[in-house]
């Protein structure tokens, strides 16, 4: 029996990269998983509803339980419906993992308002939306609850990422508030600042230099190495367990 047997988890951005690895691991540990992914490009453009369903199919093929959701986490009401949908389907919600994100990199003196707003909306507002709706359920149940939010070392001042860095710093503050306000209801909140070579890193100027030198993108080179996105998932799995109530 897995350590998350009987738990219900919602993972945003679960169609690819780190989010996919998290969803797969939580499912393998026994959790029923809501796989949320709009299937957009790195800049938040377009949509591919098949991305989330592919992960669900993989989880089910491995003997796990999952359902797909393709709503945008920037939509407050849609996120409320997603959370309620998980409760209606599985009877409750125990774990919320916020991984979803986009990039629109630009130096501060070149960034326009739309590029700022788009990144803030997905990372910061999206994390608020899921935590807001899940927190009401956690408060009502008073049987625990796990918020696991993804920040980034870019929060410390990554050049060319004023929007992304501001959002990721904001997530740290939001997570601290969750920890201090929801502990009375048995809920915990943690933020993770991971290192992994994902398609986000593939989009940077440094990635192009790596491809010129090696013929492969960083995400391809990372498979099986310390930069493999699959290595991040265990950092989520433990805070999601009942053993993590005191961390």
Which residues are 189's β-sheet partners?
147
164 is a catalytic site residue: yes
Residue tagged active-site, from 164, 185, 195, 238: 164
DSSP string covering 124-161, please?
A: IIHHHHHHHHHHHHHHHH-S-EEEEEE--GGGGT-TT-
Return the ∠ at Cα 105 (arms to 102 and 107), rounded to 5°.
155
From CA 160, how far away is CA 164, in angstroms rounded? Answer: 9
- In degrees, rounded to 5, the angle at the alpha carbon of residue 220 between the alpha carbons of residues 218 and 225 is 85
| CA-based torsion, 106, 112, 114, 119: positive or negative | positive
Q: Which long-range contacts (CB under 8 A, 24 or more apart) does 52-61 make?
A: 52/14, 52/15, 54/15, 55/14, 55/15, 55/20, 55/23, 55/24, 58/24, 59/23, 59/24, 59/27, 59/33, 59/35
CA angle (236 as vertex; 189, 224 as ends), nearest 5 = 155
Q: What are phi and psi of 165, to 5 degrees?
A: -65, -45
Helices 113-120 + 162-182 axis angle, to 10: 30
Q: Are 121 and 78 in contact (CB under 8 A)?
A: no
Catalytic residue numbers read 164
């Amino acid at each position: 029996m897995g350590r998350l047997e009987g738990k219900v988890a919602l993972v945003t951005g679960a169609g690819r990269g780190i989010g996919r690895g998290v969803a797969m691991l939580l499912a393998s540990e026994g959790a029923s998983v809501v796989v949320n992914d709009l299937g957009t490009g790195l800049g938040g453009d377009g949509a591919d509803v098949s991305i989330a369903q592919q992960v669900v199919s993989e989880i089910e093929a491995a003997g796990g339980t999952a359902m797909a959701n393709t709503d945008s986490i920037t939509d407050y009401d849609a996120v409320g419906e997603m959370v309620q949908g998980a409760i209606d389907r599985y009877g409750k919600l125990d774990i919320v993992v916020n991984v979803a994100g986009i990039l629109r990199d630009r130096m501060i003196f070149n960034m326009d308002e739309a590029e700022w707003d788009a990144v803030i909306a997905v990372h910061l507002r999206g994390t608020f939306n899921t935590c807001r709706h899940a927190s009401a359920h956690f408060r009502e149940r008073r049987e625990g609850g796990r918020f696991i939010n993804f920040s980034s070392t870019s929060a410390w001042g990554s050049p060319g990422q004023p929007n992304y860095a501001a959002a990721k710093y904001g997530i740290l503050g939001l997570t601290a508030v969750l920890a201090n306000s929801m502990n009375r209801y048995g809920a915990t909140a943690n933020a993770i600042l991971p290192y992994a070579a994902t398609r986000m890193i593939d989009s940077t100027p440094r990635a192009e230099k790596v491809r010129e030198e090696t013929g492969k993108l960083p995400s391809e080179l990372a498979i099986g190495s310390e930069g493999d996105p699959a290595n991040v998932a265990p950092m989520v799995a433990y805070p999601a367990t009942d053993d993590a109530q005191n961390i």
